[in-house]
Structure 1
Amino acid sequence: MHHLDHDIDEFDEDYVSKTDVKRYMHELQDLALTIIRLPKAKRNKLPLNEELQDAMVLGDKILNKPDALKRHSRFVAKLLAETDVDAIRAEMDVLANKHQQQSKQHEKFEQLREQVIAGGNQEVEDLLALCPGMERQKLRQLVRQATKEQANNKPGKSYRDLLAYIKANYQE
């Protein structure tokens, strides 16, 4: 009978299973595809080294070639394994969050527009207090026209113009 007398501390703490390595590489391949598919303007904001930037140029050329793109994503994943992936992911999160913030801000402006259309004179005055840069006459005119458009179930130009006017003059 063979008896092993090993403590857990003696095992190699740096050991990574083959499954874990594969899982990590698949995550990097997914990240690589995500980065390749990003619009150039967003991708340029990522902290990519020169090698990765060159790889992105090729990625742009083969976006509509699935097999080549899959091979290329494996190559980019290997490059990513040698770089600071956390910094890249953090910047991608910031970019995604900016979009969410812009969406929430847009919703807020739409709510203000709906309130001022539904609320009448008091809401106009409240909005003027919030946005001192607005002209009372122009705001009332836009609200009046937008109200007419809504009454006819045809939100149109004035409805959009009112939103743009609120966006341009809103101050927190």
Structure 2
Amino acid sequence: MRGKDEETGEFLSPSRTEQRREALEIRSLAELLVSQPAARLKQINLPDGLFEEVEAVQRTPSHIARKRQLQYLAKMLRREDDEVLEGIRAVLESDKLEARREAAALHRTEAWRERLLVEGDEALGELLDAHPEADRQSLRQLVRKATQERARDKPPHAQRELFRTLRDLLGEDEADTGET
């Protein structure tokens, strides 16, 4: 049998399924690269030939021609060293992690704003205990204005201002914990 050591029975090369799986992973990496803006591609530090090919795929308007170009890009990626591919994957994964962190920070800010608008002084006291550097009076006024806006179905100007204030306050807290 081809690809199998007759004495030990071990396979000498990856199976066709493994080869297909690797090729599909490379193809998805190529698609991810093509979806990146040009400025981000320059930050990734692609080899020159790959960078030019990614740009060529991005410029191709026709669906079939784009698919063919993408296949060629994947072929070029398969020829690259594993270190280059891992470097590209690492940079793209760090982008995903950063986006998740930013989304989580926005969700925390939104949760605090909702708590302040629903619970009122109880939540405000808890926020001020956690962040003693916050301006107590301005926060209290913003919460009062935002609650009134919500009750009267007015445009959420104070609610937005409260969100910005909380984002700045909670963002400073995350920056302090990240540095230490």
Alignment partner, residue 85 of structure 2: 85
Q: Please state how far the C-alpha of 1:43 moved relative to its aligned partner.
A: 3.3
1:142/1:159 contact within 8 Å kept: yes
What displacement does 1:12 show? 5.9
TM-score by length of 2: 0.77
Hey, what's the Cα distance between the residues in 2 that align with 1:76 and 1:52?
7
Please list, as runs of the form range in 1=range in 2, the aligned pairs for 1:33-52 lying within 5 A after superposition. 33-52=31-50
1:7 aligned partner: 7
Runs of 4+ residues deviating >6 angstroms = none
* Residues 1:102 and 1:68: Cα distance change in structure 2 (over 3 Å): same
- State the shift of 1:47 in Å: 4.3
| Structure 2: gaps spanning 5 or more residues | 1-5, 175-180
Distance 2:17 2:120 in 1: 64
Q: TM-score, normalised by structure 1?
A: 0.81
| Deviation (angstroms), 1:68 | 1.8
- Number of aligned pairs? 164
AA aligned to 1:169 is L
Match of 2:77, as an amino acid?
Answer: L
Measured against aligned partners, the alpha-carbon deviations of 1:121-159 in whole angstroms (never above 9, x if no partner) come to: 232233233334432222112101110122234461111
Q: Determine which structure has more spread, i.e. the larger CA radius of gyration.
A: 1
After superposition, the CA RMSD in angstroms is 2.3
Does 2:71 align with 1:74? yes
CA distance in 2, matches of 1:155, 1:104: 26
Q: Which runs of 5+ in 1 are unaligned?
A: 1-5
Query: CA–CA distance in 2 between the matches of 1:49 and 1:88?
Result: 11
Letter in 2 for 1:40: A
C-alpha spacing 1:169/1:34, structure 2 compared with 1 (3 Å): same
Contact 1:146 1:159 in 2 (8 A): yes
Query: 1:147–1:41: structure 2 CA closer, same or farther, 3 Å change rule?
Result: farther
Cα distance in structure 1, aligned partners of 2:17 and 2:128: 62
Q: Distance in 2 between matches of 1:36 and 1:94?
A: 17
Q: Distance in 1 between matches of 2:16 and 2:110?
A: 52
